[in-house]
Structure 1
Amino acid sequence: MDRPAHTRLPDLPLHRLDVPLPHLLPFAIGTFDSIGPLSRAAFPHRHTFYEIVHVTGGSGAHVLDLVRRTVEPPQLCVITPGQVHHWADAEELTGNVVLFDEDFLLPHTDDAAALRRLAGRPGHPAGDQAAPIAALLADMATEARDLPPGHHGVLRAYLHILIARATRALGPTDAPADSPAPAHDRAAEAAAAFGRLLCEPGGVSRPVGWYARQLGMSAGHFQTLVRRATGLSPGSLIRRQQTLEAKRLLSGTNMTVRRIANVAGFSDPAYFCRFFRRETGMSPGEFRTWAVRMHHDPRTESIAGHPDGP
């Protein structure tokens, strides 16, 4: 893989979780109104934190990594760190927004993998989990507001239950086929750690051997574990992430193709253009034109319907 010596951060707005005193928790919960206007931002942006949204009313669409889904309450939307999303033509959105960072998941390490599977969709119906989830979110909001003794543990337990109910609402047949199921084994742990490293700034610019060293194993053993857990080689997953990152930047920024190539892990823009066409069937310029048209005209076919979509 061709890679630059240094990778600059992309020009997409990056939102960080800023929880005011006296909480001192990497966690926040509220309505769209109480969290603030950025909770319904209409411009493409990414987070350093996780977001779970339970939409109970309103109209418009949620666009997550170029996949557009009409708002059909009650609906769940999950956004993981590094994903690019925005709300399109949203009006009168109501519901609850839960924000938290990776540290808040430490007691339940499988939850990070579950959230990545849920984030494979821009939104899915809450189904028969809508009422239990609404009640659970009300309890979480009360706990976060009152901060009684032991609230740290209670909020983490509530979050674990919320993720389980969101997964139950998605259903086994709706989960992305290439997402490994949670498992307490070395292969699943290695694949999950690899996935987190890939989503870090500059993650796609690193060779397979770098990830193996970070995880304290040989390159061969790392390859075996990742393929066992995902069915794909680490190189294939890196190429998939490079393509997705390039799509995000082509559709959400005015960065030049040369700079996007650099951020996506290529020092040679010409090679990047050949790579992108091979992976998507379009040149970077053609894809940007298509993405701009899709953003301004919701009748344009979503990337979800494109055979080369993410």
Structure 2
Amino acid sequence: MRSTTVLPGVPTPPTGAGDVPLHRLEVAGPGAPPFAAGSFEEVGPLSRWTRPHRHTFYEMVHVRAGSGAHVVDLARWPVRPPQLGVILPGQVHHWEGGRGPEGSLVLFTDDFLVDHPGDREVLRALGTGRWFGLDAEDDRSIRCTIAELVAEQRQRAPGHESVLRSLLHVLVIRAARLPDRDGQGREQRARGRAAAVAEAFTRLIAGPEAAGWTVHECAGRLGVTSGYLTQAVRAATGRPPGRLLIESRVYLAQQLLAHTELPVRQVAARAGFGDPAYFGRFFRRETGSSPGAFRKHHSRPHQSLETPPAPA
């Protein structure tokens, strides 16, 4: 992502309707490393944000206390301290219910992994799996490593950037070693989450209000990224979401042509097309027939389909 960092006080840019807010990493000043670490209080109020949002950076979260849940890409992980979780750039997440989490955060952009590029794959695996419950020994190890990162960042002694990168590498490796104590593997959980997202997408595009929506708009309404939505729908159906959106629009247009007496222009508008001529070309490409010819062979008017939707 471009512009992954900002200087202190730079506001989050406004987003359009249906878009998920995008947060960038705040750095101390020009030339400062794209890295931050500290408690939830030190990082700021957005670290506990209850509204779905996404980041341009990685976030490693060490939860020491609190309740409620953390929701990431529609997967809901109960807060059961002590825990460690990883949030990837672009993932949509928020905190939900209970008493706000207490603990520490480590934030960094992809650029900060320049000394250990292999950590990107490790982090991706951690971020697409579950949150890890920690035993006393693992909790102490994670807490001490993060404390060293926080101290090194504050002191800014000569060579501190190299030390920060090395300590971050240690933290990533230690996170990768954490066992799956609840008996369910990350792969199994990931498949279950993908199936839930695909099912929600199928329900979402079934209604006429979805006509004309893009994959990006659908992803925003589901609280996931476009990439994750594509991956989930492909895994569940074998087809990309864009193809399913096209088929949904074709089916709606066929229903309106066959069961109403609406003019083709209005059918096009209901199916999400502002240009009736383009709708005609689209319909012929997808069905092999023009809208008029399809209506001639399938027309069975049904008054309820012609009734305009009630105002919101």
Superposition TM-score tier, normalisation by shorter sequence: 0.5 to 0.7
AA aligned opposite 2:43 = I
Three-state SS of the structure 1 residue aligned to 2:62 is strand
- Name the counterpart of 2:213: 259
Task: Provide the identity percentage.
Answer: 41
Q: Which residue of 1 is the match for residue 257 of structure 2?
A: none
How far, CA to CA, are the matches of 2:184 and 2:50 in structure 1?
A: 27
Q: How far apart, in 2, do the equivalents of 1:99 and 1:48 lie?
A: 10
Q: Are 1:106 and 2:94 matched, yes or no?
A: no
Q: Which runs of 5+ in 2 are unaligned?
A: 1-15, 218-225, 227-240, 251-312
Q: Match for 1:20: what amino acid?
A: A
Q: Deviations over 1:115-171 (max 9, x none)?
A: 111112352212331101101111110000010011111000111110111111144
Superposed displacement of residue 177, structure 1:
3.5
Amino acid at match of 1:258: G
Alignment CA distance shift 1:23-1:74 (3 Å) = farther
SS in 1 for 2:187: coil
Matches for 1:6-85 after TM superposition, within 5 Å = 11-21=19-29, 24-85=32-93
Give the secondary structure class of the aligned counterpart of 1:43. coil
The 5 A counterparts of 1:1-310 are: 11-21=19-29, 24-127=32-135, 128-171=137-180, 175-177=185-187, 256=210, 258-261=212-215, 266=242, 269-271=245-247
Q: What's the TM-score, normalizing by structure 2?
A: 0.56
**Could you tell me whether the CA contact under 8 Å between 2:132 and 2:180 is conserved in 1?**
no
State the alpha-carbon separation in 2 of the partners of residues 148 and 53 from structure 1: 25
Shift of 1:271: 2.4
Structure 1 residue identity aligned to 2:215: A
CA RMSD, Structure 1 to Structure 2 (Å): 3.2
Note the C-alpha offset of 1:40. Answer: 0.8
The 1-side partners of 2:216 and 2:65 are apart by 41
CA contact (8 A) 1:77 1:122 kept: yes
2:285 counterpart residue number: none
Cα deviation, 1:100-123, whole Å, max 9, x if unaligned, reads 000111111121111111112352
Which amino acid counterpart does residue 173 of structure 2 have in structure 1? A
Give the unaligned 5+ runs of structure 1.
1-7, 180-239, 275-310
Q: Please tell me whether the aligned partners of residues 42 and 87 of structure 1 are also in contact (alpha carbons under 8 angstroms).
A: yes
Deviation string 1:194-248 (CA, Å, 9 cap, x unpaired) is: xxxxxxxxxxxxxxxxxxxxxxxxxxxxxxxxxxxxxxxxxxxxxx79x67x85x
Q: Give the direction of change, closer, same or farther, for the CA distance of 1:273–1:159 in structure 2 (3 Å limit).
A: farther
TM-score, normalisation: structure 1: 0.57
Take 2:30 and 2:172, find their aligned partners in 1: how far apart are those partners? 26
Larger mean CA deviation between 141-150 and 17-26 belongs to 17-26
How far the C-alpha of 1:174 sits from its partner, in A, is 5.5
Count of matched residue pairs = 199
| CA–CA separation in structure 2 for the residues paired with 1:166 and 1:257 | 44
Given that residues 58 and 90 in structure 1 are in contact (C-alpha distance below 8 angstroms), is that contact kept between their aligned partners in structure 2?
A: yes
One-letter code of the match for 1:37?
P
Does structure 2 retain, via aligned residues, the 8 Å contact 1:117–1:175? Answer: no
SS in structure 1 of the partner of residue 26 of structure 2: coil
Q: Which residue identity is paired with 1:261?
A: V
Quick one: which amino acid aligns to residue 35 of structure 2? Answer: F
Computing the radius of gyration from Cα coordinates, the structure with the larger value is 2
Structure 2 Cα separation of the partners of residues 18 and 32 of structure 1? 14
Name the structure, 1 or 2, with higher relative contact order (CA <8 Å, separation 6+): 1
Q: Distance in 1 between matches of 2:112 and 2:42?
A: 21
